[in-house]
Amino acid sequence: MAIFNVGPLPGQERFGAVITDLPPASIDEPETRKALHDLWIDKGVIVFRDIAGGMDTQIRLSEIFGAPEIHPMMVGTSIKTEHKALAPIEYDRESGNLYEVKGRQLGGYLPWHFDAAYVDRINHGGILRPQILPRSGGETGFLDQIAAYELLPRRLRERIEGLSVLYAYQPDLTKPKFGDRADRIIQMSELFRKGMDHPSVQVRAIHPLIYRQAVTGRKVLHVSPWFAEAIEGMENAEGDALLREVIGYVLRPELMYFHRWEAGDMVLWDNWRMLHSACGVPPEEKRIMRRTTIVGDYGLGRREVKPERSPAR
């Protein structure tokens, strides 16, 4: 028998689970590993409360769900962390992202998205662990797109079946075309600035608006508001209106969970079905997190191929 307790996410019954009383020593037991993997596929987000072991436990947990990989935006940079599989998610006043959002200055703010929408291969998820928490703010939001699909009107499900979305890397959070965005940029981090020149983001990516979760057959409404540029083949006012309508059904409060971090927490999410966001912190605060990225590819993404121009006659 697996040795841990499972409860619901606070205020959210549609997805997610909270695990308590998981001894790090049991992570290597086959029964525990299978139970955790099955729960992840079923629930999409798992909050581990008061789990000991820090970096070692985080990496061992990640290995249950897939091999930890270096985050693609860190490849080729000089940014270092305690372990090659750990990516820095950091805000401090000297070097972090700082934006004005709805009249408030927020450090480390990120709008709703799934990771790597701007490339063709989407990692399967990640585990986030805090190192330094702010005195206020800093929540991470999660939103389930299986639940979002189930709430779509039938006529809209039928309208978008078989359609795909074009995505491009956009580090300036005042410029996303769809969903939430910041009002004014105050400071952009080095990691975000260098990302614009990364080889992996020079060609747009294409992902389906709907796909089936391979293990369960459940349909996923698969759209990342941040990074979305247009519906493939409908780069016009009609396509933009359709995509905005779909995103309006996705970004509903009843589909969201906002995690209030505590020391000893780790949060695992399935990037193939979940959106996530960062609420940000007051500009004078500091928030230092470490994230593992779980290797994978759902196999449905592709790169945009533009037709070659005919030579001039």
Indicate whether 138 pLDDT > 60: yes
Q: Which amino acid is at 193?
A: R
Distances (CA, A) of 123 to 66, 139, 170, 215, 296: 10, 22, 18, 17, 5
Indicate whether 170 pLDDT > 60: yes
Mean pLDDT value of segment 91-113: 96
Query: How far apart are the C-alpha atoms of 150 and 161, rounded to whole Å?
Result: 14
Average pLDDT over the chain, rounded to an integer: 92
Report the relative pairing of strands 210-212 and 219-221 from DSSP bridges. Answer: antiparallel
Q: What is the pLDDT of residues 175-228, one digit of tens each?
A: 999 999 999 999 998 878 877 777 667 899 999 999 999 999 999 999 999 999
Check residue 118 and give its pLDDT.
95
Choose the CATH number for 5-299 among 3.20.20.450, 3.40.50.620, 3.60.130.10, 3.30.1330.20. 3.60.130.10
Check residue 5 and give its pLDDT.
97
Q: Which two tokens stand for residue 307?
A: 């037709």
Q: What is the pLDDT of residues 6-52, one digit of tens each?
A: 999 999 999 999 999 999 999 999 999 999 999 999 999 999 999 99
Q: Which two tokens stand for residue 20?
A: 């308590």
pLDDT category of residue 69 using cuts at 50, 70 and 90: confident
Q: What is the pLDDT of residues 232-261, one digit of tens each?
A: 999 999 999 999 999 999 999 999 999 999
